[in-house]
Amino acid sequence: MKPNPSFEKLDLTKTLWKTEGRRHWQFYCPLCSVTRRITLHPRPQPRHLVQVGIASAFVTMLAWPLFGLKGLVVFIPLWVGFEVLYRMRVRAEISCHACGFDPYLYLSDIPRARRSVEEFWKQKMPPKQPEPPVAP
């Protein structure tokens, strides 16, 4: 019996997931030293400018009877909205899922960052109530 050629080529030491083609931003959590890896870049990239530009050109074409070429001003509110949403996504992804440390919050307000880590641990492991003594 001839073996299936697809099984011969299967190398279990390599991952089957696509690991190339996408840059990851990798760092260590300063609080718990867990390796953090996020897929988003901290700041919007030039390709995002192109994407928002194409979207604003499309909106301008839709509103051409009303505004004409002045409709290109729609790029500004579209960019502001995009950047707000993008930074919210980055902030949600950059906070550590193991210890609850939020680097953005730490840069702006250190006591609030400490409180958020304490609240994270209280939610993860609520304090145990002392059990009443059992009568013999």
Which residues of this protein are in contact with Zn ion, per CB under 5 A? 29, 31-32, 96, 98-99, 101
When the beta carbons of 36 and 56 are compared against Zn ion, the nearer one is 36
d(CA 42, CA 54): 22
Token pair of 64, please? 């051409």
Token pair of 88, please? 């919210």
- Smallest gap, in angstroms, from Cβ of residue 23 to Zn ion? 22
When the beta carbons of 52 and 96 are compared against Zn ion, the nearer one is 96
- Smallest gap, in angstroms, from Cβ of residue 12 to Zn ion? 31
Cβ(69)–Cβ(61) below 8 Å: no
Q: For 35, phi and psi rounded to 5 degrees? A: -70, 125
- Smallest gap, in angstroms, from Cβ of residue 120 to Zn ion? 10
When the beta carbons of 31 and 40 are compared against Zn ion, the nearer one is 31
